[in-house]
Structure 1
């Protein structure tokens, strides 16, 4: 096998055609692609495809760079046209929602009522996410700690322990999240241990991981200081120990984010939040 052949087999084209934002396709496509570490997808994303002219551009791109085609198209004409083109030209194609919708239909009965971007309607759930995002931005990095009782989740952690990105991700799921930086010898906000409604969670990571992120942060700011305690291993290890001791003393759960993605960390927090809410409901007789 030549080097050129090996190189051509190290990637493939993945076409994602949607009449909405394409988020569903992106998530499904990336989840499937992650199962094959030896090759990588080159994504071609076509959102808001709702006319034949818009579909023309997608088909032209597929023709120029053949690969796998995933789609979510509500309009039957557009759907059938894309499917026919791919089948005629031996291009692998799949409607990612069709099998799921068929399962729902078999269980619920009756025909579905297709709606373009149905999951993105401006309903109560949408405005709940906006409200959560506003709250989270206002309560980032220890701001407005007098309003913590209004949070669903309060995240604690030392600098560069993924507090802010995790908070934003949770907010996008409609979960009001505040985050508070932990610094040794500096007291946490008064009343934190007395919170009743919010779930308080500590985020920690290995010293090596924290140092790596902090060093990259300093380099990005052109402020690298090799001897600074900010990236000194002994100092960082003490910060981590301090945060673990604090959480243990108050009975707050701790999540190690060293090898977790933001999505995995958020999923773990959501699981803890559900259990936390169940306990509150049982204790109040709700």
Structure 2
């Protein structure tokens, strides 16, 4: 529970959090952020230690924990390393959390199978890995209106006015193996011919829009960061309202699905696009078959 000072304000407490992984640590990083975000008045100093696979590596980390004790979250499959880490945390009286154990245990019981206990197995260089690399290369080559001659080769094309999160959304999609391109709508500039070359029912084109008020705020912050002039049509509210309205009319004429990103995170926008893509390609998850008696 968060504390409060004499003025009724939430007081912030600081903690150390150690993330120890025998792989890249991506899983740990995501899980720790999701968990810590649930606590008000808590701020953590995270220290991530990836690719920990030897006793010598772990002993150096344990020296850090001993010097500044804090909670530990880990994904280690080596039993010797797990035992050493657990014993040290017990001696220091700090939590030591094997984050994947409950999941692997429950699935093992359900599958009636034993886990492989192989470090970094989720990052094996399989076909999916190479598909993601190919998608990332495509996306970077087709960012912000580049290489518009072959937009029909994309899985998804995002269209929207400036600062509607097109690029980060495309990168997120590419990391999921989706070849994503994006095209910016600029007042007075015609659409690239590559968009017209997309056959009906072919590549999915999605329009991104947002609130004019929010867009002005984002654009103004962008100009300030660049030390650029801040009194232009780019951040004029009435001009931005016209941009947004013109973009919506374009999306309607073209029959493109529209996603309002005003209150969506990149992940939420990408999830909505993936759902549209799956329906378009017929890969949407179907209900599971009935269990056999």
Q: TM-score, normalised by structure 1?
A: 0.90
Distance 1:8 1:54 in 2: 36
For structure 2, the 5+ residue unaligned runs are: 285-293
Aligned partner of 2:243 in structure 1 is 239
Equivalences for residues 1-286 of structure 1 within 5 A: 10-190=13-193, 192=195, 194-195=198-199, 196-226=201-231, 228-278=232-282
Give the drift of 1:110. 2.4
Relative to structure 1, the CA distance from residue 135 to residue 101 in structure 2 (aligned partners, 3 Å threshold; closer, same or farther) is: same
For structure 1, the 5+ residue unaligned runs are: 281-286
- Structure 1 SS opposite 2:16: strand
Aligned partner of 1:283 in structure 2 is none
- Structure 1 SS opposite 2:193: coil
Give the drift of 1:8. 8.3
Cα contact 2:4–2:11 (8 A) shared by 1: no
Give the drift of 1:88. 2.8
- Structure 2 SS opposite 1:25: helix
* Structure 1 consecutive aligned stretches of length 4 or more whose deviation exceeds 4 Å: 6-9
Give the drift of 1:207. 1.4
Relative to structure 1, the CA distance from residue 180 to residue 9 in structure 2 (aligned partners, 3 Å threshold; closer, same or farther) is: closer
Cα contact 1:215–1:224 (8 A) shared by 2: no
Distance 2:176 2:4 in 1: 48
Cα contact 2:148–2:194 (8 A) shared by 1: no
Distance 2:33 2:188 in 1: 43
Aligned partner of 1:284 in structure 2 is none
Distance 2:162 2:189 in 1: 13
- Structure 1 SS opposite 2:267: helix
Looking at secondary structure, tell me which structure has more helix per residue. 1
Give the drift of 1:119. 1.2
Q: TM-score, normalised by structure 2?
A: 0.88
The number of residue pairs the alignment matches comes to 277
Q: CA RMSD in A?
A: 2.1
Relative to structure 1, the CA distance from residue 87 to residue 160 in structure 2 (aligned partners, 3 Å threshold; closer, same or farther) is: same
Relative to structure 1, the CA distance from residue 90 to residue 7 in structure 2 (aligned partners, 3 Å threshold; closer, same or farther) is: farther
Distance 1:32 1:114 in 2: 25
